[in-house]
Structure 1
């Protein structure tokens, strides 16, 4: 059996730069980790997430670094002894006992080095020298020539997390280090060198496909590979002359694995055991949990162009998704518990797919395992983003090795539903002015997306769909970001125009669209210490990485909300506008379910405290957008949309049962006076369907547009429609009553409206940085009440619920304008 010895302790770190005499000769190092986290732990640098400290740490990525450790070992010439590095970031030379054993050039690969002849009995010295990614990138630019890149740094010339070099939501913190575990493995006779496992359906039965490649040592005879799953055991002989074996296991009638909004997530433990046939002892083993579901991506032609529909267990889904970026600039800090907490937050927001974006990393196993358990679908980009990539050596071989490593590692996961070739690179070549820069015949990545990657996916993981890019229209003959084909990104809305323009598009699938807002107030106060805090103060402005981002925040308010005069109002108004923009876009797309089959908002999470498109900030605190996503992605959605010159109530049902109920509506003055009403006894919306109900003429035609609202209801679902934007709406100054009652784990805060209150928000972090509120963006008619549930360990009283600070509404921003 393989013996594994972790080598994650006893490391030291040295700066290999004579220009840093202020640093000690050696400092303690943590593995897994990186240079930045070790310097932080030794209090040798200021926290780069705080204020403008990022810029004082720029030198770190331009220096070379040496990690060293000593470990005890026993030499055994009858066994193969290998050093295994699960992740090295990035340009490294590895030496054992003073002798070089290998060089690495890829953050996204696992490396294995045979050290059988070099290992000493007793103490051994291991060192890993990391070269500056900047220095290596400069060499590679000379080698390949210039390639366009939308962001600074040489991330497209090497295989390293691209957003390390800075993005429009992330800092420039160029890391180096052993970011995944290290171990010494010792084995004899044979081991499983590569194991590929997939789980699909064959009719009503589960089908497990197994491929294994063996590494052998010495004169080992025949082996036996035994697969066990769900009470079914299959044994296959591997002759002494063979190194490869493939076979199938049939599991009769397994329970189906579903995304969380449709069903359960049964997982079946699979164990593969390699046995020496002659001796009968176990040589190696492989364990995974498998879920059984069918999967296809329907891109067939239709009357609208060509579809882009994920079909799971023969059900065509509307995807309620969000883009996932690395959850920390230093990925080793993201624990399994943190992964699970973030994915739970996504699930609670009614998100059922996360797109792992191509400028980051292939996440660690714990991420995909948590998605399997929670029914969270995963769209996985290959790691190419917003740049042109050379296809020559040595990059091409690194790409192939990286893809083989990660496809094999991740393919057992039921949650993984797509391999995607790249993020915005085909679009960039077509529309961002790259064509004149890239010389005729010069590579820019297309050969990866249309040839290498699909070939590798077909070879390794043929049961899972591959798609060349996001956005991509399915053909190089069609513009890559077309409405009628493939997947689309909508970015003119944030960059150039107002969010009302979302209604100009009915994409087949929208894999990116987003709107910015600052982090929660508590997160800003923890990360920025400007006196006073303003949108333009040094720290706040530094934590805004988008080009003209603050200007776009204000421009995006135009026509919707007034320009704020105070920091408090700026913070709330921009957060409110973000929530409204994305809810507006999602409800529009969902109302066209027959054409559009997915909305994947940019973005779910943050890697550091920043003004960004995220719903959950870097501290894991919910922005108002999180609550907007929960409402807009509700599996049963009621929304009011313009149709044929009038208005229609649109019911959208993603549940497995039909939705049949009375639909009613009223046109009211803001003071609650009913001006017109209707009632229709049975509106039937079948499962996986949207159903439009045209609203009567007396409902859709206002008498005083600035003082009226339409309210439509189906059971406990309610939708509002306003005839003018808030800046023109006669919202009164808020009048309300507050009651606070202690409950288990916190408080119930009951708010009773004494006049019309629009988008009422209880900003729980203004009470306690650790507090969490269950609801937000609540609209109340005069006399109605709503109870906010606040989880907190702090004592709260009614006087703490300060209107205009803790309790906010659109009324605060616009009352008194007219």
Structure 2
């Protein structure tokens, strides 16, 4: 039976003639940090001080003893790397085993009987990229870094939310595998469901040793109590298992996520003779095994044309779904630090916010199996980009061969996961070719179109025909339409934030919004940790360094100034207002687009997470703290949502129901004066059908008088509330907010757990408790809340270090009169 020995210990990193202890998996930066050679690049301006690391060559080495690679009862010993970052030469006892130039592939080398000093010598990624650039010629991109010339995590070269920390190292596990006769080289389970029967077609490629070439082999497969066996004469085989009426895997919010163990075993049956009666044994000698969890479900992408344009709707198990999504970037710029536990924490946060789709963005990595395992369990659909983003990519060698090998490797690795619902060719490159002045600069040179419209769809069709493929995001489906046409396919909405107010989200109804978002700074405790000793201000040195977007602070300020007076010399107020505007902006887009289901079939917010402490579009900051946006996502992505939308003929009430059951509901509408006086009231008995939207014009007597600047509308249903103000906050006649605060210990919830009750004496709009002001580990269960006079809200805080009423009051913020 095949044996695996992990090579995690005994590695050294050469630095200035010294051997530093190296962690594998890991990278140069984390090893240098552990050795005290560099300071934490996430703090202050330290990023600038470590730029030299990415421009040097580095060598890892460890001894391989004779007993490590000896046959020891096996014919072959292979050295297997799950990930090398990136351009490396591997030698053993001074003899070259091979060379690599792709971070996103796995590598295997025969080291049978060889021993000595194992060395992995990494060239500078900049040097490798420059050598490829000289072969292919220049190509345009959106950042002045050469990431499109090397198959490496692009955002490590810096992005508009990420630092420039160009890594090198053995970033995924490395091991020795000892085996004889044959091994399972590749296993591809094609899982389908037809007429209530689950079908698993297991396609297997086998590698044989020289002595194993003529031996008779067998394959066994088992799933859900169903077994199959086939004899293997060559190096390929197919087994088919049919499971009657399996439980279906559903996206979160639509059903359960049953998973089934699929086991594949390779056996040597050459000598299988039963001496008692001379018949052949039905067993065999085990050689290798493969095991994964699968789920039974169907997935399709409805891209049919209709009177509105060209759709883009996910259909799972025959059910059309409005996708409630977020974009995912690497959770750390040093991805080897992201553990299975960290994946689970972040993805559980996503699930708890009613998110049901995570798009893995094309400038990052194909994530570890632990990511997809967790998505399988939580019911989070995965949209997987192939790794191309915001650049023209050469299609010549050596890149073309690497791209194909990388695609084949990762399609096979990830296809068992039922959560994976879409392969996507690239991020923004088809759009870039059309709109970002690439075409004249390229002058006919290749730029990636052959990957997105040729190579990648062929690989997916060959290896994983059970899933849809999209050429890119955004993409209208063909060159007959503009790549980012909102009426066709996927759309990225970036005029809002870059140039327009978030109210402009309501100007159109794209078929599927795959990217949109608004920036805000991270939590205060995150800033204090990342910028130690700095007097915080929007334009302080550390704040500006941890703002990577072009004119990012200018856009933040303009976004606030459209709605509020811009605070002067009041960082706490500026911090609250920028986070408030971020939450409002994203909520405005999602409420509008959800109200237009099924024309719009999904939103994917940019972005869920951060890779370091930075002002960005994330809902969860680089230290894992939740911004107000996170709580708004939980509200606007809930199955049931109430919203009041402006319309050409006056405001419209939308009752949005994504549940499978009808939603009969009584909605109370009140037109109120700023002082809380009820000017008009109406109760409507409404019903939204299953996965449907009911739209209802607001009666004229309930429409607030915009000219007065003192009237607003509240809609309440069950525990849901929608607010509608006809003018901007700076034009509304808010009273000075008054409220009472009581604080008590939350019984049985542990030290630092508080119940905070806020009782409004006036209108209190967008009340927010910032829990990290009570302690770095403190969290609150509630985000922004609007209270009418006499109303109360209970906030639960856990992990607070400061528990007094004065500290709690200082952590509370709300909208104030201009």
Q: Could you say whether these structures have the same fold, taking a TM-score greater than 0.5 normalized by the shorter chain as the test?
A: yes
Question: Which one of 762, 770, 781 corresponds to residue 769 of structure 2?
Answer: 762
State the alpha-carbon separation in 1 of the partners of residues 69 and 456 from structure 2: 42
Q: Which residue of structure 1 lines up, in the alignment, with residue 281 of structure 2? A: none
Is contact 2:512-2:602 (8 Å) kept? yes
Aligned to 2:40: 47
Report SS of the residue matched to 2:441: coil
Offset at residue 152 of structure 1 (A): 2.4
> Shift of the alpha carbon at 1:705?
3.8
Q: Report the CA distance shift for 1:784/1:142 in structure 2 as closer, same or farther (over 3 A).
A: same
Aligned-pair distance for 1:110? 0.2
Q: Which moved more, 1:506-515 or 1:136-145?
A: 136-145
| Equivalent residue, structure 2, for 1:176 | 168
Alpha-carbon distance in structure 2 between the residues aligned to 1:79 and 1:101? 18
Aligned-partner Cα distance in 1 for 2:412–2:268: 25
How far residue 701 of structure 1 moved from its aligned partner, in angstroms, is 4.3
User: Which residue among 452, 474, 485 is the counterpart of 1:449?
Assistant: 452
Distance 1:696 1:546 in 2: 44
1:24 positional shift: 5.1
1:278-293 aligned at under 5 Å gives the runs: 278-279=270-271, 280-293=284-297
Secondary structure of 1:581's aligned partner: helix
Deviations 1:430-452 (A, max 9, x none): 00010110022x10000000000
Question: Comparing 245-254 with 444-453, which one deviates more in the overlay?
Answer: 245-254
CA distance in 2, matches of 1:546, 1:325: 16
CA contact (8 A) 2:74 2:178 kept: no
CA distance in structure 1 between the aligned counterparts of 2:313 and 2:565, rounded to whole angstroms: 40
Give the one of 358, 362, 374 matched to 1:358.
362
Matched, 1:253 2:260: no
What is residue 14 of structure 2 aligned with on the other side? 14
Find the counterpart in structure 2 of residue 675 from structure 1: 679
Alignment of 1:277-426 (within 5 A): 277-279=269-271, 280-426=284-430
Q: CA deviation at 1:558?
A: 2.6
1:481 aligns with 2:484: yes
Equivalent residue, structure 2, for 1:269: 261
Counterpart in 1 of 2:274?
none
CA distance in 2, matches of 1:717, 1:754: 21
**2:804 paired residue among 797, 806, 809:** 797
Residues 143-292 of structure 1 mapped to structure 2, 5 A cutoff: 143-217=135-209, 218-219=211-212, 220-239=214-233, 242-279=234-271, 280-292=284-296
Structure-2 separation of matches of 1:98 and 1:701: 81
Structure 2 residue 788 is the aligned partner of structure 1 residue 809: no
Shift of 1:644: 3.9
1:261-301 Cα shifts (integer Å, max 9, x gaps):
11111101111111111341111001001111111000001
Give the whole-Å Cα distance in 1 for the aligned partners of 2:252 and 2:686: 26
The 8 Å contact of residues 774 and 800 in structure 2, kept in 1 or not, is answered as: no
Q: Report what 2:592 is aligned to.
A: 588
What secondary structure, in the 3-state scheme, does the structure 1 residue paired with 2:566 have? coil
Q: Secondary structure at the match of 2:159?
A: coil
Conserved 8 A contact 1:159-1:398: yes
SS at match of 2:716: strand
TM-score (norm 2): 0.96
Give the drift of 1:723. Answer: 1.4
Other-structure match for 1:19 = none
Using the alignment, how far apart are the partners of 1:517 and 1:703 within structure 2?
A: 29
3-state SS of 1:166 partner: strand
CA shift, 1:671, in A, is 1.9
| Cα 1:41/1:62, change in 2 over 3 Å | same
Structure 2 Cα separation of the partners of residues 763 and 384 of structure 1: 37
Q: Would you say the 8 A contact 2:69–2:111 is kept in 1?
A: no
Q: Which moved more, 1:166-175 or 1:732-741?
A: 732-741
Partner of 1:20: none
1:502 and 2:505 matched: yes
Give the SS at the match of 1:210.
Answer: strand
Q: Does 1:573 align with 2:583?
A: no
> Which residue of the partner structure matches residue 713 of structure 1?
716
> How far apart, in 1, do the equivalents of 2:330 and 2:518 lie?
19
Distance in 2 between the 1:535 and 1:552 partners? 12
Structure 2: gaps spanning 5 or more residues: 272-283
1:70 to 35, 58, 63: 63
CA–CA distance in 2 between the matches of 1:456 and 1:135?
30
Partner Cα distance (1:477, 1:158) in 2: 32
TM superposition shift of 1:794 = 3.0
* Aligned 1:427-438 pairs, distance under 5 A: 427-438=431-442
Q: Report the equivalent of 1:736.
A: 739
Aligned pair count reads 796
> Is 1:631 matched up with 2:635?
yes
CA distance in 2 between partners of 1:703 and 1:200 (Å): 56
What is the Cα-based RMSD across aligned positions, in Å?
A: 1.2
Deviations 1:764-799 (A, max 9, x none): 000011011001110000000000011115351222
1:107 offset after TM fit, Å? Answer: 0.1
- Report the Cα distance in structure 2 between the residues aligned to 1:548 and 1:404, rounded to whole angstroms: 40
Residue of structure 1 equivalent to 2:530 = 527
Task: Give, in angstroms, the shift of residue 147 of structure 1.
Answer: 0.3
- The DSSP-based 3-state class of the residue aligned with 1:419 is strand
